[in-house]
Amino acid sequence: MAEGQFRSGIAGARLPLERYTDNFADLHPALDQHEALVEADRCYFCYDAPCMQACPTEIDIPMFIRQIATGNPLGSARTIFDQNILGGMCARVCPTETLCEEVCVREIAEGKPVQIGRLQRYATDVAMRQDKQFYQRAAPTGRRIAVVGAGPAGLACAHRLAMHGHEVTILDAREKPGGLNEYGIAAYKTPGGFAQEEVDYITGIGGIAIENGKALGRDFTLADLTGRYDAVFLGMGLAGVNGLATEGEELSGVDNAVDFIAVLRQAEDLSQLPIGRRVVVIGGGMTAIDAAIQARLLGAEEVTICYRRGKEHMNASEWEQDLAASKGVVIRHWVRPLRIVEQGGKVAGVELEYTTLRDGRLAGTGESLWIDADQVFKAIGQSFDPLPLNGGGSSLELENGRIRVDAEGRTSSAMVWAGGDCTGSGEDLTVTAVAQGRDAAESIHRALTANGRA
């Protein structure tokens, strides 16, 4: 199946047209100035700042909140962007409930943390609306760097390199830049084309060219890049999708959740998207949650997430699980698919087996259950495809199926760095990818200059 296509012919338009706009409205509406000032006043401005320690990009959170409290949102945005140039997107999609807000002193004392994510969005939105560019390019160094992948890691790397005066070319396989931010995040988290607005803001510094529709292994090789550029950064994410290895997986109506989300994000008319009446999602991560919620928002009558382990084992946070439940999604734990059953060549239901832990290992109990379904989404994780790396005689060392890198993002090949999901170092989060892209850029800059000076 081609990326972004469905084999099922299930009709759309399950709901009155006006409902689609309401259902996919902003999950966390922006704070206005008064609300931001009130919320900022709740911060204790902790000296040891546990929130800052929990942030993968190490944003000075007490500082940016204090700047909001004193009426300086542009200064606040500068503090955020100094560490995370994609601070606007991260404010919308970061699992703050398990990062900065989880360790907030207010959360520990009162069960109600400072809304750090929404305050970050307030400040960065002010700067982006005014197109306030805080960074000027250094004098040109004459160095040229290729960045593979226009996702969070690639964009963060490119911006930092451009700031140091290098020329950057980003090569991306898709029609639009943005990577996961454009194609892989629930539409209700980033409505209104924000992902492309952020790309425009980031490239506004200058010195960054983006070439879309250019895929590694198809249109160029790693050897081509190392021969033509002074350095290369790989940030292409994960292209593969894990299969269920279950009977009936190839039936019409069984689709990859990541393709469903990508199609939904690019759809001009949500009412025309194919969605079943009874939908089953297999998986327990954020992709499973996003697919399940959006299936409900599109008008599916019954949506069930089936996960092989317990609630506490799900990669999706408890907050996200509760959000799914609030939208009418049923989450079944301790079940795994045995087979997907057809009727007339299409999905009719899923037979599952109850599971348990025996001596710490997952095992089936022999008991089964049946769930009626006319559409099934697979969301059991993505995998890295190393084949595109091997053209032209190039090869990189892998570790646990992904590119092996050191603490600075260096790969086993000279002058080649990598970051983001394709490396497997750290959590598969937007904010983690940003940190890795930023840090790799600094390492590249040091390698191309004398002690960081051009």
Q: Which one, of 156, 151, 94, lies nearest residue 121 by Cα?
A: 94
For residue 182, what is the DSSP state?
Answer: H
What structural domains and CATH numbers belong to the chain?
42-129 (1.10.1060.10), 144-239+384-448 (3.50.50.60), 241-381 (3.50.50.60)
For residue 45, what is the DSSP state?
Answer: -
Nearest-angstrom CA–CA distance, 359 and 221: 46
Nearest-angstrom CA–CA distance, 381 and 17: 33
Element holding 258 (H helix, E strand): helix 257-266
Q: Which one, of 451, 364, 443, 359, lies nearest residue 408 by Cα?
A: 443
Q: Which residue type is seen at 33?
A: Q
Each of the 454 residues of the chain gets a pLDDT tens digit; together they read 344 454 555 655 689 888 999 999 999 889 999 999 999 999 999 989 999 999 999 999 999 999 999 999 999 999 999 999 999 999 999 999 999 999 999 999 999 999 999 999 999 999 999 999 999 999 999 999 999 999 999 999 999 999 999 999 999 999 999 999 999 999 999 988 999 999 999 999 999 999 999 999 999 999 999 999 999 999 999 988 899 999 999 999 999 999 999 999 999 999 999 899 999 999 999 999 999 999 999 999 999 999 999 999 999 999 999 999 999 999 999 999 999 999 988 899 999 999 999 999 999 999 999 999 999 999 999 999 998 988 766 789 999 999 999 999 999 999 999 999 999 877 889 999 999 999 999 999 999 997 655 4
Nearest-angstrom CA–CA distance, 139 and 375: 56
What is the number of residues in the chain? 454
Q: What are the distances in angstroms from CA 72 to CA 33, 39, 43, 67, 75?
A: 11, 14, 16, 5, 5
pLDDT at residue 2 in the model: 40
- Three-state DSSP state, 147: strand
Q: Which one, of 445, 331, 427, 442, lies nearest residue 55 by Cα?
A: 427
Q: Burial of 247 by CB count in 10 Å (0-12 exposed, 13-18 middle, 19+ buried)? A: middle
pLDDT at residue 390 in the model: 82
pLDDT at residue 13 in the model: 66
Nearest-angstrom CA–CA distance, 196 and 350: 38
Q: What angle do CA 435, 443, 61 make, to 5 degrees?
A: 30
Long-range pairs, 412-415, Cβ under 8 A, ≥24:
413/222, 413/226, 414/226, 415/226, 415/230, 415/231, 415/232, 415/447
